Structure 1
Amino acid sequence: MKKKDKKNRNLKNKDKPTSPPAEFVAPAPHVWVEVDIEWDSLDKAARRRLVLQALEDGDIDVLWSATHHNLLLYGRGGSHTSQHTVRGYRTGVAAFLAFALPLGWQRMTDHDTDLTIGYLRALERTGLTPGTINARRSAARALYRALRWAGVLLADPFADTPRVADREDRWAKREAYSREDIAALLAVATPEEQRMILLGSHAALRMSEMTSLTWDAVDLAKKVMVVTGKGRKTARVHLSGPLHAALSAVPAGEREGHVLPWQDPKTIRVLLRALCSLAGVQYARRQVHGLRHAAATMLLAQTGDIYVVSRHLRHSSISSTEIYAKLSSTKLSDALDAWDAPEPPEDDAPATPDEDDEAAD
C-alpha cells in the first residue's frame, strides 16, 4: 500500500508543471515583426482559428497584433492611445507570453487563475515594484481581452487576479530634483538640453509631452503653450522666464516641427542620466519624471498654494497633486522643531478692559 502511494505521488510530481526559468519572466528583447492582418475583415470563426494557431505556434507577433488591434478598438484611449502606452503594453504582452507559453498554451484558453496569479508572484520574485507588476498585469489583461474577442475563451482570469498591493507611500516612490540640482544641470547642458530640462522642471511636462511638443503650440508673445496630455486633454501652460528665454533664443527660422530634437523616450533618459553624472546630481529614484516633481515642489514652496500647483500640473484631482508636491522630511522636521514651549507672559498684571475687548475681537 505504501509503495502504491509513493508511486502516485511520483506521478503527481511528474505531471506538475515546473516554474519557468528566470529568462521567461524577464525575457530578452523580442525582435518584432510587422504582421499584415486585416482583423476587421475576419469573422469570429476565422479570428478564432488564427489566434489558436498563433498560441499553438507561440507566435508572439500575431498575438500582439490581435491585442494591439483590440486595444485601439475597445481600449479607453481608442485610436488616440499614445505610443508610450502601446510600447508598454507590447512589452507586457511579450513578458506574459514568455512566462505562460512554456507552461502549455492550452492553459491560456481556460479560466486558469493559477496561471495568472502565478505570473504576478513570479514577477514579485524578480524584485519588480508593485507599480511595474500592475502595469504588466494590465498588459496581460489586454491580451486576454483580445483572446475573448477572438472567441478563444469566455471569461477573464485576470478579473479574479487582484492587483499587487503597494505598501509604500505614494509620495515616497520618486524624489524631486532640488532648485540647486536644476541649476547644476542647466550649467552643463547644451541649449537643446536646457530646453528639455526647463520643459520638465518649469513647465511640468511629462516625458511624452516633451517629445510631442511642436512649435505651433508655443505662443512666445503670450508666454503660453498648448499641451496635449493624458487622455488627449489639452491645456494652456504658462512659460517661466527662463523657459521663455530658452525658447526665444531659437532663431525664428528654426521654429518648425518639434521643439526638442529627440522623440525617442530612451534618448531623453540617456541624456538626462549623462547630464546628472556630469553635474554630480543624483539620477536614481528621480529619473525624467523627477523634473515634473521639481516643478511641483518649487512652486509649492514659492506660493504655498496647492491649488496653484494643481492647475500648473493640470491635475483633475488635488489628491494627485499631493503626491507630486510632497513636503520633504526636512521641512517637516524643521516645522516640528519650531514648536517650542510658549513663552511666559512678561508680567502678571490683569488685562485692561480695552485689552479684553481687543482679545474678544
Structure 2
Amino acid sequence: MMTNDPTVGGEALDSASSSLTLVPYQGDALTRARLWLDPEVRRREAVRAARDLDLETLWALTEAHHTLQGSAQSSRHTLRTYRNGVRLWLLFAQRRAVGLLHPKADQGALFVRELEAGELRLTRQRKNKKDESAQPPPRPRPLTPSSVNAYLAGARALYRALRWAGASSADPFLDVKVGADKVARWDKRSPYPQAAIEALLQVGDARHRVMVLLGAHAGLRASEMVSLSRNDVDLSAGRLKVTGKGRKVRSVNLSASLRRELSALMAQSASDKLIGGTPEAARLRLRRECLKAGVPFLSLHALRHSAGTRLVKSGRTLQDVARHLGHASVATAEIYAKWADESLQNELDNW
C-alpha cells in the first residue's frame, strides 16, 4: 500500500519491489478501508506484502479489517500499539526466516517468549546519529506482561486480516499464552498525593492548571484531555462532554476549582482546543512542571488515579468512581480502594 521503505527495529524491510494497484489515501480509516473491498485485489496485495515483509501494506490491510470487522472504533493509541505489534512480528519474521503465510509450529510461542525476554525491541532512528558501530548493543530489558499482550494483539490482528484476505489460514498464536504478571496492579503505579497536586497548581499557566485538574478532579485520560474543545464545556451546568475509549461519550461533573480555571482559560484564549497537542506533548509539559514544583513525575495518568483515590477516600462508592472515570466495569475501580485504604499503615505507625 505504501512504498516508503519502513524500518523495523533499526532493520529495513524491503518494499521496493512493490507493484501496487491500490493508491495510498490519507483520508479517514473508513475511506482507507474501502480500498480493500475488492477480494481479488485484497488477496493479491496481501500475498505480495507478506512475501516482501511490506509493513505499510500489511498494516493498511490490518487497519482495514479492524475498521470493517471490529466491534468498536479504537483510539489512536490502540491503533498505534497494534501497528507496533505488527512491526515487531515482522522484525521477528525477518530474523527467524518465518514464512508469514505459513509459519511453522511454535514460532508464535517463540515470538512471545522473545518479547518477554526483551530480545525484540522497537528503536527510533535518530536525526543526528553518531557512529554506533563501536557501541555495544543495548542489553535486553524484559517487557511487562501487559506490554507483551498489547503487542501480541497487534500480531493477532494481522492474521485475522490475512485470513480475511484469503491469503492465509494460519493462526500462529492460537494456543499461545503470555506469562502471568507477578506484580499487583496497585504496586506498579500510584496516584499523586494531594500535596503534590496542590504544588503543581502553584506553577505553570492557566492551561497547565486546567490540565492538572482535568486529570486530578475530572479523571480524564491524556487523549481525552487533548481532544477536549470549548463546545464540550458547559460551565453553567458544571459538566464536560468527554469522548473516551471506543468513542464512548460520557458526562463528567466539574469540581468548583476546575470550573473556575476553565472559565479563566476560556476567557484568555479563543482556541477551540483547550489543551490541544498530543498526549505525548501533554506528558512532557507535565514532566517539566513537576520539575519546577519539586514533585516527582509519576505519569500523566497518575492524575486520573488521584481522582479515583480521592473519591474513594471521601466515601463515594466504587460505582460512583467507575461512572465518574468512565470505567466499563466496577472491577477496574477496585485499585482505588487499595490506594485509599490507609488502615494498615495507620496500625503499623502505632507499633
TM-score range, shorter chain: 0.7 to 0.9
Matched, 1:259 2:310: no
5+ long unaligned stretches in structure 2: 1-6, 17-22, 26-31, 119-141
The Cα of 1:132 is off from its aligned counterpart by 0.6
Larger Rg: 1
8 Å contact from structure 2 (residues 98, 104) kept in 1: no
Alpha-carbon offset, residue 308 of structure 1: 2.7
Distance of aligned partners of 1:71 and 1:304 in 2 relative to their CA distance in 1, 3 Å threshold: closer
Q: Is the 8 A contact 2:240 2:254 kept in 1?
A: yes
1:84 corresponding residue in structure 2:
77
Match of 1:74 among 69, 73, 92: 69
1:217 CA displacement: 1.3
Which residue of structure 2 aligns with residue 315 of structure 1? 327
Q: Percent identity?
A: 39
Give, in angstroms, the shift of residue 319 of structure 1.
Answer: 1.1
2:243 maps to which of 228, 241, 249: 228
Partner of 1:122: 114
> Residue by residue, what CA displacement relative to the aligned partner does 1:164-223 show, whole Å, maximum 9, x if unpaired?
321211222211101011111111221111111110111000111111111111100111
Separation in 1, partners of 2:12, 2:292 = 29
- Residue 42, structure 1, aligned to residue 38, structure 2: yes
2:289 is the alignment partner of 1:294: no
Structure 1: gaps (5+ residues) = 1-22, 341-361
Alignment-derived partner of residue 339 in structure 2 = 327
Supply the distance in 1 between the matched residues of 2:287 and 2:168 (Cα, whole angstroms).
45
Q: Using a 3 Å threshold, how does the CA distance of structure 1 residues 57 and 317 change in structure 2: closer, same or farther?
A: closer
Q: Report the AA paired with residue 54 of structure 1.
A: A
Name the CA shift for 1:27/1:95 in 2 (closer, same or farther; >3 Å).
farther
Question: Structure 2 counterpart of 1:139, which letter?
Answer: G
Greater helix content: 1
Q: Pick from 56, 64, 89 the counterpart of residue 59 of structure 2.
A: 64
Task: Specify the alignment match of 1:244 in structure 2.
Answer: 259
Report the more deviating stretch, 313-322 or 132-141.
Answer: 313-322
Aligned structure 1 segments of 4 or more residues deviating by more than 6 angstroms = none
Asked if the contact 2:310–2:340 (Cα under 8 Å) also holds between the matched residues in 1, the reply is no
Match of 1:349 in 2: none
Change (3 A) 1:53 1:29: closer
SS at match of 2:213: helix
Q: TM-score, normalised by structure 2?
A: 0.80
Q: 1:112 to 1:288 in 2, by over 3 A?
A: farther
Aligned to 1:156: 171
- Tell me the amino acid that sits aligned with residue 94 of structure 1: R
Asked if the contact 2:233–2:240 (Cα under 8 Å) also holds between the matched residues in 1, the reply is: yes
What is the CA-CA distance between 1:81 and the residue it aligns to?
2.3
The answer on whether the counterparts of 1:216 and 1:256 sit within 8 Å (CA) in structure 2 is no
Residues 276-315 of structure 1 show CA distances to partners (whole Å, capped at 9, x for unaligned) of 22222222xx311101000011121122533332332222
1:268 matched to which residue of 2?
A: 282
Summarize deviations over 1:84-130 as a string: whole Å, max 9, x none: 22122112211221121332242x21253422111111111111111
CA-atom RMSD in angstroms: 2.7
Q: 1:281 aligns with which of 295, 299, 303?
A: 295
Distance 2:74 2:195 in 1: 36
Where 1:168 maps in the other structure, the secondary structure is: coil
Quick one: structure 1 residues 197 and 27, their matched pair in 2 at CA, closer, same or farther if it must change by over 3 Å? Answer: farther
One-letter amino acid matched to 1:109: L
> 1: CA distance between counterparts of 2:315 and 2:271?
35
User: Is the contact between residue 204 and residue 293 of structure 1 (CA under 8 Å) also seen in structure 2?
Assistant: yes
Deviations 1:13-33 (A, max 9, x none): xxxxxxxxxx97x55799x99
In the TM superposition, what is the alpha-carbon distance from 1:246 to its structure 2 partner?
0.6
Distance 1:29 1:86, change over 3 A: farther
Q: Deviations over 1:37-56 (max 9, x none)?
A: 7633422x432221221122
Counterpart in the other structure of 1:5: none
Could you tell me how far apart the structure 1 residues matched to 2:292 and 2:319 are?
35
Cα distance change of structure 1 residues 231 and 251 upon mapping to structure 2, 3 Å threshold: closer
Instruction: Name which of structure 1's ranges 109-118 and 84-93 shifts more when overlaid on structure 2.
Output: 109-118
**C-alpha distance 305-50 of structure 1, shift in aligned 2 (>3 A):** closer
- What amino acid does structure 1 have at the position aligned with 2:51? E
Determine the C-alpha separation between the residues in 2 that align with 1:265 and 1:163.
28
Amino acid at match of 2:258: L
Query: How many Å separate the matches in 2 of 1:75 and 1:41?
Result: 15
